[in-house]
Structure 1
């Protein structure tokens, strides 16, 4: 099972992959995240002691058509207030001139460094925030918009220290979208990354620390802002492109096949959206792909160092999320099928992986009053118990068998921009050309190259694909389409495998590959607004709902 394909890249291959990687970084960085978020905060002076009530009054100078009020929630503590409005011309309005507009309590919401919106649709000169003594949360800024989604200038504000609520209005660029704060599971991962940096007890403990530590590194480099906590994810996703090229090039002994596979990964929707989301999935995908790249080098070239690096990459993947165990089993299965017996290298890789896993808990051990190794050991059982016993439900969870069919994408963010007829939304799904196109490709490979005529390259595609996917059938907790992310490279390899069968007819081979890439790029452009959060007309968004389960 050895190939003579040389590892050194040709100049045109280097130029092509450099261009693809640069294109991805540029596209993924556009509207990635704000470089500034409100930093000065206001907090009710009683901090939940129950000794009093705080009030903040905004004066717009004249009666204004109020549309939405945005509140930047700086921390994860509870914020509770009643909101009143008055169209009175007197300063301040009398008690009977206030009308209650809204009661706000985010106790049941996950929140951290994010904007929350209150829809008012009323006319008022004054707004009064009546904070109860249960309110302990820090508020970074209050932004008031008209019904036309334009900023309303606040002429005056009353309340002890309340000027901090309106002192950073210029840091918020309209419209408010996902780039202005945390959204979806970022509120868990970014919060925990910040807690690691400040030696506080980590809030998110149900997954190993590595993904959150990488997010913390991004914050240390680029600041506590959406760009800072997301940009390393973009670089991780970009790094997958040359790895995908190298793997495909070696498997199929073709630079063209490598460029084809790398192009499909570049324009896959899930790869793109997860790159722009500060959670652990994109780092899991990177380390998973890296582990199989090294596994391929080992199986096809007999390099012992490659096997060691493959197992260490599995360890890095496992230190992000435990689901990496499925990939480790796939690599062991490939070794057995290929009659490889270098178990001492596997053991060496496991020992290094164990050291990495344990080292990732050092920030947790330093948090709070400090923790020992016994605490870390006990936490592993607690984590297992959580995942084994979780009974939560979610509107956008999906069964494992539906993922490749994309019957139910994951809707992660939405903000209707009132008065503009537009919406900012982010949905997590795959590129239909790749995900749906891989179904017949995999079927063909199984029938033609595993059953009728055995081929080890086909086995390297199908076996990991199945072992990364089918174990989810045994998991009873809620699942999401992002659990399928490690399978994306193998769907691409399946399509590439089928394309390479046309290599003897060079013109047809090039035409088929180019046509498929053009289709994938066209679909990427078509769906770009709904996978990136870019504001678009509601009608355009609705036109992309091709299936009944596509809700976004």
Structure 2
């Protein structure tokens, strides 16, 4: 089926446009289900309204960019379910397109790129987050596009290398301006740059210090290492602090100086590291790949029917993706295949972050970026082990994923259920209740 896309191989923008239309339509259908605030929207929607009114600080434990984006949607469509969630749908679509762009740049294969984008639409965590007024969909979209820009910079020449690097750095600043969980990605990006440069020097049989030069480099040609890392740090930090501009215009408790801005960061740190009470839906990082504790964002009577919204991944994609990550590591061990290794490391690093982040409790929605990287690993693993035989296994995998998505759709979308116990049909594990 996807062989027909070969004719579009020189027109990836057209394919991206088609994917954007499909993804946006999927996320918009019945966006007003449920018609009331659900789960952590209770924190972020009032904070977004406070930004619109400039009435004063709300939800100060997180930076401001995600709430500013929600506020932009509310300013556009009003204080209603469409206004609350429209920005999330747009960034859900951006996530799908980011996966397409990443895979297209990484392997230049239309089948892999389209399958990865389709799996991202169907992995269910993106779908639910793209229809909820929370922060994680923004974090995931900015992160994916930061990686895309840095990869594009890696492949560039001349001035394009620098401006793509700066754009990627600014996007990393945006990730952090949504949630502080973005900070480790800046560190990982800088370390990855140095490791790749050192590897290039070793393969070229050059002194290791030649990796610091911008001359005669295989990757990021013309980009000297120390200025590049300094630029990444400065651009990401400046981008982060610029998002606090509205706080200087509050009518109550406005920021009045840079000192006040820095004091707010200390206060945020204190709130982020405080010991929190037990929560019904809390879970540990090791349980997220196994999907042991999904989260009911909503389960109430609404608009004349029992409705539910469950944040649960597509089992075929999230569990199958673990096999794909293992296969990508095996591809490196057996064949020294760098591209599968890079995707496997993205997933591993995104999960490892939460091993070291000083949070007293965790939740399954923290796994959102990792679930996106699984959608990259699956087509990469299929492509590597297919060995050019064109057997189309990934197409069958995507088709089966669509069937699983359709099976779970009623408890993802807030569709009417039979009665108050209507959810039991989908509860494969006791911990899912």
Corresponding position: 1:198 with 2:50: no
Give the TM-score, by structure 1 length: 0.68
Tell me the residue number matched to 2:409.
528
Q: Check the 8 A contact 2:310/2:411 in 1, yes or no.
A: yes
Tell me the residue number matched to 2:218.
none
Consecutive unaligned residues of structure 2, counting only runs of 5 or more, are: 1-6, 198-210, 213-224
Q: Rate the CA distance shift 1:344–1:290 in 2: closer, same or farther, 3 A.
A: same
Among candidates 137, 157, 176, match of residue 318 of structure 1: 176
Please give the per-residue CA displacement for 1:467-491, whole angstroms capped at 9, x wherever unaligned. Answer: 2111212334111111111112321
Mapped to 2, the partners of 1:400 and 1:362 lie a distance apart of 34
SS of the equivalent of 2:83 reads: helix
Tell me the residue number matched to 1:446.
329
Among candidates 80, 86, 100, match of residue 225 of structure 1: 80
Shift of 1:457: 1.2
SS of the equivalent of 1:392 reads: coil
Tell me the residue number matched to 1:23.
22
Among candidates 213, 226, 230, match of residue 68 of structure 2: 213
Higher RCO, Cα 8 Å, sep 6+: 2
Q: Check the 8 A contact 1:330/1:464 in 2, yes or no.
A: no
Q: Rate the CA distance shift 1:513–1:459 in 2: closer, same or farther, 3 A.
A: closer
Hey, which of these two has a bigger chunk of strand by percent?
1
* Greater than 6 Å deviation, 4+ residue runs: none
Tell me the residue number matched to 1:382.
267
Q: Rate the CA distance shift 1:366–1:401 in 2: closer, same or farther, 3 A.
A: same
Tell me the residue number matched to 1:269.
124
Shift of 1:257: 0.9
Tell me the residue number matched to 2:294.
409
Corresponding position: 1:258 with 2:142: no
Q: Rate the CA distance shift 1:405–1:356 in 2: closer, same or farther, 3 A.
A: same
Consecutive unaligned residues of structure 1, counting only runs of 5 or more, are: 1-7, 34-176
Corresponding position: 1:425 with 2:308: yes
Aligned ranges 1:111-510 → 2 under 5 Å: 178=34, 180-301=35-156, 303-339=161-197, 341=212, 342-367=225-250, 368-372=252-256, 373-416=258-301, 423-449=306-332, 451-474=333-356, 475-508=358-391, 510=392
Shift of 1:505: 4.5
Mapped to 2, the partners of 1:23 and 1:320 lie a distance apart of 26
Q: Rate the CA distance shift 1:452–1:514 in 2: closer, same or farther, 3 A.
A: closer
Tell me the residue number matched to 2:222.
none
Hey, which of these two has a bigger chunk of helix by percent?
2
Shift of 1:208: 0.4
Q: Check the 8 A contact 2:149/2:168 in 1, yes or no.
A: yes
Give the TM-score, by structure 2 length: 0.86
SS of the equivalent of 1:462 reads: helix
SS of the equivalent of 1:396 reads: coil
Please give the per-residue CA displacement for 1:72-121, whole angstroms capped at 9, x wherever unaligned. Answer: xxxxxxxxxxxxxxxxxxxxxxxxxxxxxxxxxxxxxxxxxxxxxxxxxx
Q: Rate the CA distance shift 1:482–1:459 in 2: closer, same or farther, 3 A.
A: same
Aligned residue pair count:
395
Please give the per-residue CA displacement for 1:18-65, whole angstroms capped at 9, x wherever unaligned. Answer: 3332222122112112xxxxxxxxxxxxxxxxxxxxxxxxxxxxxxxx
- The alignment's C-alpha RMSD in Å is 2.1
SS of the equivalent of 1:549 reads: helix
Shift of 1:392: 2.2
Please give the per-residue CA displacement for 1:521-540, whole angstroms capped at 9, x wherever unaligned. Answer: 11111111111111122465
